[in-house]
Chain A
Amino acid sequence: MTPESFLLLVVGGGIAGTIGAMLGLGGGVFLVPFLTLVFDLPMHQAVATSILAVIATSSAGAAMNMERRVVNLRLGMVLEISTVIGAIFGGVTANMLSGQVLSRIFATLLLVVSFLMIWRVRHFRQDHSPAEEGGFPASYKDESTGALISYSAKRVPLVSLIALIAGNISGLLGVGGGIFKVPAMNMISGVPMKAATATSNFMIGVTAAASAFIYFAHGHLNPFIVSPAVLGVLGGSFLGIKINRRIKGSLLTWMFAGVLLIISVRMFTR
C-alpha cells in the first residue's frame, strides 16, 4: 500500500465520520461507497470495515452521552434484543450473498436513507410522551435550555419490530441502523429527539458487534484497510460533533441527501 493510499483511507474515513456525526448517522452510508467506488474493495470487506467503524463511533459517542445522562439505558437494552437478533441474521445472510447483490441492496438502502433524511427533518416530533403515560420513564437535562425533560416510551413492541429490521440491515450492509431507530423511537414511542439519538447511538455499537465476529470469522477484515479507515472515522466523528453545534442542520441534510442519491445511482450502475 502506498503512503498516498493509506492517507486517502484515513481522510476518506475522516470525512465519512465527520458527515455521519453532523447528520446523526453512523459513517457507514458514506464509508461503504467510498471503499467500493474509490478503492474498488470487495463489498464484503467494505461492509466489514464499516461495521468496525460503526462500533468505534458508537462507543466514543455513547461514552459522552452516558455521562450527560441522555441515554435511556433500559429502553436501549430491551430494543437491543431485537437488533442483535436482526444483526446476527443479517451477518449470516450477507455471507451467503454475492458482492454484486449486496452492492445493489446497499444502493437501494441509500435511496431510502436519502428520503428518510428529508422526511425526518420535516416530521420529527417536538413533543414527547409524558413520563406517566408509557413505559421506561426517564429524564435528562436539556443542555440548551437547562430544562429537565421527563418522558416515557410508548408502543415499544412496534419499535422493537423496527429495531429488528434495522439490526438486520446493519448486519447485512455495515451501517448503524440509526436512520430507522431514531425516527421509530421519536415518532412512534414519543421519545424526545435528543434522547432517541443518544439511545440509538448507544445501541448501534452492540448491533454492529453482533455481526462483526461473523465477518471476522469469514476473513473479511483486512487489517491494513480497516485500521486506517476506523482511525479516520473516529477522528472525523469527534470533529463532526464539534462542527455540528455550529451549523444549521436542515441545509446540510438536504445537501447530503442529494449526495447519497448520486452515490446510489453510481452504485446501481457500477
Chain B
Amino acid sequence: MDQEATERRVERWIGRILRFGVWASAGLMVAGLVAAWISDGALRIPKENPPATEVLRQLLAGSLEPTTLIFGGLILLMLTPLLRVLTAAAGFIVEKDHKFTLVSFVIFLMLVGELAYSLR
C-alpha cells in the first residue's frame, strides 16, 4: 500500500511539473508576443534567427526583449521533458527502485549530453 501511495505521489508530481512547464512557457511566449506588438506596433520577423548562444546569453543577463522572452518560453518548453525525467528518477529513488533510477539517469544524461554537444 505504501508503494502504491508513493507511486501515486510521484505521478502527481510529474503531472504538476508538466503542467507548470507548459503553462509557464505559454505565458512567456504570449508575454513576448504582446511586448513585440506593443514596442514595434508589428511583429517583425528577423531575417536570420539569432544564434543559440546569443539567446542564452541574453536570457542569463535577464533581458526582457520580446524575442528573448519568447525564446525563454521555448527553452522552458524544451526543458520540461528533462525535468520530467528527473522527477521520475527522484520518485524511483524514494521507491528504492534502483534499476529504474539508473534507467532514468541514463536518459537524463543522454539528454544533457546532447544539449551540451549542440551548444558547444
- Do A and B truly interact? yes
Chain A interface residues (CB < 8 Å from chain B): 1, 6, 52, 55-56, 58-60, 62-64, 66-67, 69, 71, 73-74, 77-78, 80-81, 84-85, 88, 205-206, 208-210, 212-214, 216-217, 219-228, 230-231, 234
A66 contact from B14, B36, B107, Cβ within 8 A:
B14
A60 CA / B81 CA spacing, docked (Å) = 11
A219 cross-chain contacts in B, Cβ below 8 A: 48-52
Within 8 A of A (CB), among B78-120: 78-82, 84-85, 88, 100, 103-104, 106-107, 110-111, 114-115, 118-119
- Nearest chain A CB to B106's CB is how many angstroms away? 6
Are A234 and B26 interface neighbours, CB within 8 A? yes
| Count of chain B residues near A, Cβ 8 A | 55
For the A-B complex with A209-B79, A216-B78 known, give 9 more contacts whose Cβ atoms are closer than 8 Å. Answer: A56-B26, A59-B84, A63-B14, A64-B15, A73-B14, A209-B82, A213-B118, A224-B45, A227-B33
Residue ID in chain A nearest B33 by CB atoms = A227
What are the 5 tightest A-B residue pairs by CB atom distance, in nearest-first order? A217-B118, A209-B81, A66-B15, A63-B18, A223-B70
A69 CA / B82 CA spacing, docked (Å) = 20
30 A-B pairs whose Cβ atoms sit less than 8 Å apart in the complex: A59-B22, A60-B22, A62-B15, A63-B19, A66-B14, A71-B11, A73-B11, A73-B14, A74-B100, A77-B88, A77-B103, A81-B106, A81-B110, A84-B107, A84-B111, A206-B81, A206-B84, A206-B111, A209-B81, A213-B119, A214-B114, A216-B74, A219-B48, A219-B49, A220-B49, A223-B67, A224-B44, A227-B73, A227-B74, A230-B29
B104 contact from A55, A59, A77, A221, Cβ within 8 A:
A77
**Residues 11-46 of chain B, each 1 if its beta carbon lies under 8 Å from chain A, else 0:** 110111011011001100110110010000011111
Are A59 and B80 interface neighbours, CB within 8 A? yes
- Nearest chain A CB to B75's CB is how many angstroms away? 8
Residue ID in chain B nearest A235 by CB atoms = B26
Residue ID in chain A nearest B107 by CB atoms = A80
* B8 interface residue (CB < 8 Å to A): yes
Given known pairs A66-B11, A209-B81, the reply for A222 and B49 (CB within 8 Å) is: yes
A55 CA / B22 CA spacing, docked (Å) = 9
A199 CA / B7 CA spacing, docked (Å) = 16
Residue ID in chain B nearest A207 by CB atoms = B81
Main SS at interface, chain A: helix
Interface centre among B44, B45, B49, B111 (most CB of A within 10 A): B49
Residue ID in chain B nearest A212 by CB atoms = B78
Given known pairs A209-B82, A219-B48, A231-B30, the reply for A67 and B118 (CB within 8 Å) is: no
B18 contact from A66, A81, A210, A226, Cβ within 8 A:
A66
A155 CA / B29 CA spacing, docked (Å) = 42
